[in-house]
């Protein structure tokens, strides 16, 4: 799969099949995150890979899902992710661009997951103090985000919109994700042109 196809077909997944992901595939995903750009090459981003089922449930308990379609898109036990990557910012290494570094790393991981036929969900709504206690994370490595991974059990649709960007579930329980049109976000030479 080429990069552009991965970008245009990637959607956030909130329902997952309950089959394990090969460890080598997960390491490839994290390695893609490791190789992302980093301001001044400080490389403050670190990762915790969680695959043990009981620990996955504990990570899940610290997250909030899809506010606009809660509770219908909060995964039930048989739909929860089978792997998590907790993204940390090591303050002993990090410059002011650490959050941008994390975003670049996460996007690399999301796209690598698409290539492996996996779904993912980037989650910023996390009970960080509770999760840090569960995973023994030191104070100098605050949690930026968590990313859920698994084989998708839904197929959300992206569609162009003129204005309303609220994602929604239709009567068939399909998630629709409106995206602003290219003509509305691309300016040439000067803003508004």
69 band by pLDDT with thresholds 50, 70 and 90 = confident
Q: State mean pLDDT over 79-105.
A: 94
Residue with tokens 């595939």: 25
80 band by pLDDT with thresholds 50, 70 and 90 = very high
104 touches 44 (CB < 8 A): no
Q: How far is CA 129 from CA 1, 62, 78, 134, in A?
A: 38, 9, 26, 9
To the nearest whole number, what is the mean pLDDT of the chain? Answer: 94
Q: Assign a CATH topology to domain 3-155.
A: NADH Oxidase (3.40.109)
Tokens, residue 170:
């239709």
Q: State mean pLDDT over 27-51.
A: 97
Q: State mean pLDDT over 59-65.
A: 96
Return the number of other C-beta atoms located less than 10 Å from residue 7's C-beta.
12
What pLDDT score does 67 carry? Answer: 76
Q: State mean pLDDT over 2-7.
A: 94
96 band by pLDDT with thresholds 50, 70 and 90 = confident
What pTM does this model have? 0.93
Q: Which of 146, 143, 153, 183 is nearest to 11 (CA)?
A: 153
Q: Whole-angstrom Cα distance, residue 168 to residue 164?
A: 11
**Which of 23-27, 33-37, 72-76 is the least confident region?**
72-76
| Domain boundaries along the sequence of the chain | 3-155, 156-193
Q: State mean pLDDT over 120-145.
A: 98
Does the pLDDT value for residue 66 go beyond 90? no
163 band by pLDDT with thresholds 50, 70 and 90 = confident
What pLDDT score does 138 carry? Answer: 98
Beta bridge partners of 16: 152
- Give the helix ranges, DSSP H, for the chain: 3-9, 23-34, 53-60, 98-115, 128-134, 182-185
What pLDDT score does 98 carry? Answer: 93
88 touches 34 (CB < 8 A): no
Half-sphere exposure of 183 (CA within 13 A, CB side): 4
191 band by pLDDT with thresholds 50, 70 and 90 = very high
Q: State mean pLDDT over 83-107.
A: 94
Q: Which residues, other chains included, contact 34 with Cβ-Cβ below 8 Å and sequence gap of 6+?
A: 45, 47, 105
Using a pLDDT cut of 70, give the percent of the chain over it: 100
Q: State mean pLDDT over 35-51.
A: 96
- CATH code: domain 156-193 is 2.20.180.10
What pLDDT score does 95 carry? Answer: 74
Strands (DSSP E) contained in 34-107 are 45-50, 83-89
* CA torsion through residues 163, 106, 20, 129, sign: negative
């Amino acid at each position: 799969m080429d990069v552009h196809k991965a970008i245009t077909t990637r959607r956030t997944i909130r329902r997952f099949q309950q089959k394990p992901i090969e460890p080598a595939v997960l390491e490839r995903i994290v390695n893609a995150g490791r190789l992302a750009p980093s301001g001044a090459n400080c490389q403050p981003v670190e990762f915790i890979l969680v695959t043990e089922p009981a620990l996955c449930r504990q990570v899940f308990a610290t997250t909030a899902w899809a506010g606009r379609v809660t509770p219908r898109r909060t995964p039930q036990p048989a739909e929860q992710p089978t792997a998590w990557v907790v993204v940390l910012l090591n303050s002993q290494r990090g410059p002011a661009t650490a959050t941008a570094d994390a975003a670049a790393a996460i996007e690399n991981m999301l796209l690598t997951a698409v290539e492996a036929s996996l779904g993912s969900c980037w989650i910023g709504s996390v009970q960080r103090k509770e999760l840090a206690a569960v995973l023994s994370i030191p104070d100098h490595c605050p949690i930026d985000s968590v990313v859920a991974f698994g084989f998708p059990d839904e197929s959300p649709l992206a569609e162009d919109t003129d204005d309303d960007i609220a994602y929604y579930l239709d009567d068939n329980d399909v998630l629709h994700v409106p995206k602003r049109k290219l003509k509305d976000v691309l300016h040439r030479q000067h803003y508004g042109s």
